[in-house]
Amino acid sequence: MKVILLDELRGKGGEGDLVEVAQGYAENYLFPNKVAQPATPGNIKQLEQRRHNIEKREEKRIADANTMQEKLDGKTVTVDAKVGENNQLFGSVTTAQIASAIKSQLGVEIDRKRITRTAAIKTAGKHDIEINLYREINALVSLYVGVVEDKLDEDAVKEAAAEAVASDDASVAEESTKEAAAGGEGQE
């Protein structure tokens, strides 16, 4: 089924493009969400009359995407996360966390849906993130996933555990001495 796009549809085209899609997709998603309209002769004639305005908006979107690409391309952002053994994260870094980090650290607001990833980020370190800004305009951002908390020194942890065991042993010995003394008094 041929439709006229009213907005950008990733992988298909932008506003004013005439594209072929499945009928069910058009009727159940594109038309109700006002992303497209049927390609009837009347709608095609209206499209030709609006073509100049669409081209102006398209030029502005491309210019905005290029400006945003200059702000983002090659930049680095950091996301703090809890790290376990072998640099494995507790959970994973989400696109919402990445978008929030970009907004707070670079001052650029992007939609989390524009962040393209091949797999979940589950390890600490450097990861390259691609952001689809508009059509074929992409930016590459370096993401460093770090540790939220300072790691405790293992010797300090062992020492604290030994002290806790010693204090527990002392309190147990003290309690048994008190029980023995109380038991001895009650029997007399």
Quick check: 1 pLDDT over 60? yes
Whether 103 contacts 119, CB under 8 Å: no
Chain centroid, CA 129 distance in Å? 10
**Which is more confidently placed, 88 or 176?**
88
CA distance readout (Å), 68 to 34, 71, 74, 181? 27, 5, 12, 80
Q: Which CATH number among 3.30.450.40, 3.40.50.720, 3.40.1440.60, 3.10.430.100 corresponds to the domain 76-147?
A: 3.10.430.100
pLDDT at 35: 95
| Three-class SS of 21-59 | CCHHHHHHHHCCCCCEEECCHHHHHHHHHHHHHHHHHHH
Between 150 and 139, whose confidence is greater? Answer: 139
Instruction: Write down the pLDDT at residue 151.
Output: 43
Pairing mode of beta strands 137-147, 76-81:
parallel
Taking each helix axis from N to C end, the angle separating 95-106 and 41-72, rounded to the nearest 10 degrees, works out to 60
pLDDT tens digits for range 95-144 = 999 999 999 999 999 999 999 887 889 999 999 999 999 888 999 999 99
44 or 152, which is more confident: 44
> CA–CA separation, 100 vs 111, rounded Å?
10
Q: Which helix (H) or strand (E) holds 65?
A: helix 41-72
pLDDT of residue 157: 42
In this prediction, residue 36 carries a pLDDT of: 96
Torsions phi, psi for 134 (to 5 deg): -165, 125
Q: For residue 116, list its beta bridge partners.
A: 130
Strands (E), 29-175: 36-38, 76-81, 88-93, 115-116, 121-123, 125-134, 137-147
Share of the chain above pLDDT 90, in %: 63
The Cβ-side half-sphere exposure at 99, using a 13 Å CA radius, reads 15
- pTM confidence score: 0.68
Grade residue 172 by pLDDT with cuts at 50, 70 and 90: very low
Fold match between 2-70 and 76-147?
no
In percent, the amount of the chain with pLDDT more than 70 equals 78
CATH of domain 2-70: 3.40.5.10
Average pLDDT of the chain is 83
pLDDT band at 156 (very low <50, low <70, confident <90, very high): very low
**Does position 159 have pLDDT exceeding 90, yes or no?**
no
Domain boundary assignment for the chain: 2-70, 76-147
Residue 149 predicted with pLDDT over 60:
no
